[in-house]
Structure 1
Amino acid sequence: MNFDSLVFINFAIALGIGLLIGAERERSKGAGLEKTSEGIRTFTIATLLGAVTGSINFWLFIAAIFCVLVFAAIAYYKQLTEHPGITTEIALIFSMILGGLCVSAPDLAASLAVTMAILLAAKNSIHGFVVSILSREELNDFLILAASTVIILPLVPNDFIGPFNAINPRNLWLIVILVMVVGALSHILLRLLGTRIGLPIVGLLSGFISSIATVTTMAERGKETPELMDGAIAGAILSSLATILQLVILLLIVSLPTLLAVKWPLIFGGVSIAVYGVFMSIKAFHGSKSRTLSPPTKTFSATTALMLATVIGAVLIISSSLKNWFGLAGLIAVSGIAGLADVHAPTIAVATLVASGKLVASYAAIPILVAFSFNSFTKACMAAISGTRQFWLPVSSGLMVQVIFTWLGWWFTL
């Protein structure tokens, strides 16, 4: 393909961009006294102007942008009382810039043009979602998540540091982001499903944030409203299924060999608690069809995510030191103690030791299963403390079944 053909294609892309964005603005500019001046012809000419001036000289392109900027400002000032918004004027200037970009990067210009057209066309949907559906607290949470991912993550060093070279700051921050993302996704699902949602689904989704907290909440719900007892039991049980699923996600990110080492224990434990939870859910649906929970207003807990990362860092240091001093027995002991509060921290600590070459993957199963068992014991205790006997017995039985099948899965791999 010769040079003239390439220039023709670039101009054709610029023409398509102007027509695309101009067509959207033509449908949105109103009629009568409320009609704005910029439409499909204005946008198409501006985009072609950007392509032509950009292909001739850079400073001519800058001068053309300045002229269009002046004309857009004058048009905006004349229509200020009728149209206080500035979206069309900004879109016109950006369209001209995209026309100039067609000279050097037509693919990028076309992608940006389609993105802008979608944003412009989705005005009512976006405004309705932000104003009517999205709360201020949810918006703040999503801004925190965006800042954590886009701003902070690239600045975090990706190397093992600290005592015994046990901590990788980037991995710890990825865990913080992962916890927030899982909580946000669970919250979005709850919002999409609406307020008429069963306790079992709420328990499953909330278990991704904190299974222990979910068990405690479900126990209190069952105590306050005895008619919802079956649903509360099902929600508490399914929160332990979320624990299994979250462990799979974490190990997949941190250390695939560790995940393969505990594959069968997690499968056995996950299937057993899933069957038990589905049985209790069916019982709950038959016993109480109209009772539902409103979705929570909090998207995720950044404090919980940071605390988890802090615990993981401490467990990593302690695990590495005990591993050096006492071998595998010390690692098992600290995993059990840490598992009383949270199963993810010791699991990630063990997986990190495997990833750094300080522990053989085949030795990772026992510390992780010990942490998982101790964590289940904590859930059973919270069920007994926060709930009634009617709640505690089935929940503890389900947790016991899960732990037994988890160890059976380990025995199966021997």
Structure 2
Amino acid sequence: MNDTSLLLRLGVALAIGLLVGLERGWQRREEAEGERTAGLRTYTLVALLGALSAILAGYTSPMFLGLSFLGFALAFGAFAWLEAKTEQNFSVTGVVAALITFSLGAYTVLGDLQVAIAAGVIVTLILALKQPLHTWLRRLTWLEIRSVLILLAMTFLALPLLPDRAVDPWNAVNPSEIWLLAIIIAAISFAGYVAVRIMGSQAGVALAALAGGLASSTATTVTLARMAREHPAASPLLSAGILLSGFVMVARVLIVASALNDALLLPLAWPLGAAGLVLIIVSGLLFLTYGKGSKECPQLSIRNPFDLGMALQFAALIAIISLLAKVVSNLMGDAGLTVLAALSGIADVDAITLSLARLSRDGVTVTTAALGIGIAVAVNTLVKAGMTFSLGAGKAGWIVSGASLAAIAAGSVTFALAA
């Protein structure tokens, strides 16, 4: 290693120490000089100490670096213990940060500079995000923690154990593929649920509807329709939220189907794009007309979608619809698939979307798959309009139904013209 490279690495070590020290010093900026174990200068020198120890180890013995680290850890730990004993503050973060800073200083000499810089930035970010992370942790519920654990178990424990091949005579049910699709859809829904939890009612109807539509457009429709029944004056605003969540559902279907088979992008983009355009335009006009200054912000109550039972049910639903779609396609042809799509759309669009997108890669034509997905979306949109009426939201029911019919008409005409 030449002198120029060595100086560069020492400079990077100093920069990393300075970065960590800046954050540590700022956190304890109110304390007087001498009242804290380490600050800006100390962490900078710690990184330099690590780098110099690594250099000297190259001239002496690798043991020198280990002994230097041990000596530093004992000395810094002793000072931190005295400070903790005096102030009755037993946080170990400062000690860990110092040990990492020493290690990163050594690594700048021995390893990859880009990795060292990235690690230094990550460490500083983690330290700087103390308050947001603690606030987030306090807001977490056990059910949400369990949901993340379930996601990890589904992905890294269950998925590798499932056979990655069809297990039925019709080659329709691939357990590994179906389980992966269930994970993806549940994760998307969980992301929407988290967004609703973070934003709450303070974000207003628009942002809540966007996040709610990602988690469950049906649940969002029910919630906003009930709000419209209780607050008739806010019906246009709440109708805008329902239509916006419907737009999110349409966009999600297009993205998921295209991701599974890119040949579906063009056949679906025109009809779903036209339908989504109608929904977003009407929603936008309603928000512009009635949204400003409105105090009617609903508290969306959406069930955590990452319950293990629900994940298993959704995987089973995908498997059943995939099997039915394959059998119906073999026995009844395209007409049978459209009927199945319409029936599936009454309850859910995700399962039939996934099934038809998969089948379009193996036997079913892209046009038939696109038609089936479009029918499922149309039926689901009509069902949600009917829900708005049935929940007693009179004015909102008329607005949502009118916009939904217009969206379906636009999608149907566009599909016919593009066919």
What is the DSSP-based 3-state SS (H/G/I as helix, E as strand, rest coil) of the residue aligned with 1:358?
coil
- 1:258 alignment counterpart: 264
Is this contact kept in 2: 1:138–1:299, CA < 8 A?
no
Q: What CA RMSD, in Å, does the superposition of the two structures yield over aligned residues?
A: 3.2
- Say yes or no: does 1:104 pair with 2:105: no
- 1:93 alignment counterpart: 99
Give the TM-score normalised by structure 2.
0.84
- What are structure 2's unaligned runs of at least 5 residues? none
Measured after TM superposition, the shift of residue 251 of structure 1 is 1.9
- 1:67 alignment counterpart: 71
- Cα gap change, 1:101 to 1:410, in 2 (>3 Å): same
Q: How many residues align?
A: 407
- 1:376 alignment counterpart: 381
- Cα gap change, 1:409 to 1:55, in 2 (>3 Å): farther
Is this contact kept in 2: 1:167–1:316, CA < 8 A?
no
- 1:31 alignment counterpart: 32
- 2:285 alignment counterpart: 279
- Say yes or no: does 1:236 pair with 2:242: yes
Residue of 46, 70, 92 corresponding to 1:43? 46
**Cα distance in 1, alignment partners of residues 3 and 246 from structure 2:** 65
What amino acid does structure 2 have at the position aligned with 1:76?
A
**Cα distance in 2, alignment partners of residues 75 and 139 from structure 1:** 39
Measured after TM superposition, the shift of residue 151 of structure 1 is 4.2
Residue of 82, 92, 97 corresponding to 1:78? 82
- 1:413 alignment counterpart: 418
- 1:15 alignment counterpart: 14
- 1:166 alignment counterpart: 173
Is this contact kept in 1: 2:388–2:396, CA < 8 A?
yes
What amino acid does structure 2 have at the position aligned with 1:118?
L
Is this contact kept in 1: 2:212–2:245, CA < 8 A?
yes
Measured after TM superposition, the shift of residue 24 of structure 1 is 3.4
- 1:207 alignment counterpart: 213
- 2:294 alignment counterpart: 289
Bigger Cα displacement from structure 2, 342-351 vs 246-255: 246-255
**Cα distance in 2, alignment partners of residues 71 and 149 from structure 1:** 45
- 2:125 alignment counterpart: 118
Is this contact kept in 2: 1:156–1:170, CA < 8 A?
no
What amino acid does structure 1 have at the position aligned with 2:73?
L
Residue of 325, 330, 334 corresponding to 1:328? 334
Residue of 388, 395, 398 corresponding to 2:400? 395
**Cα distance in 2, alignment partners of residues 198 and 27 from structure 1:** 35
Measured after TM superposition, the shift of residue 382 of structure 1 is 2.0
Deviations 1:64-106 (A, max 9, x none): 3222232233223222222311111111111222123221222
Bigger Cα displacement from structure 2, 107-116 vs 58-67: 58-67
**Cα distance in 2, alignment partners of residues 174 and 299 from structure 1:** 20
**Cα distance in 2, alignment partners of residues 376 and 308 from structure 1:** 20
- What are structure 1's unaligned runs of at least 5 residues? none
Measured after TM superposition, the shift of residue 346 of structure 1 is 0.6
Give the TM-score normalised by structure 1.
0.84
What is the DSSP-based 3-state SS (H/G/I as helix, E as strand, rest coil) of the residue aligned with 1:68?
helix
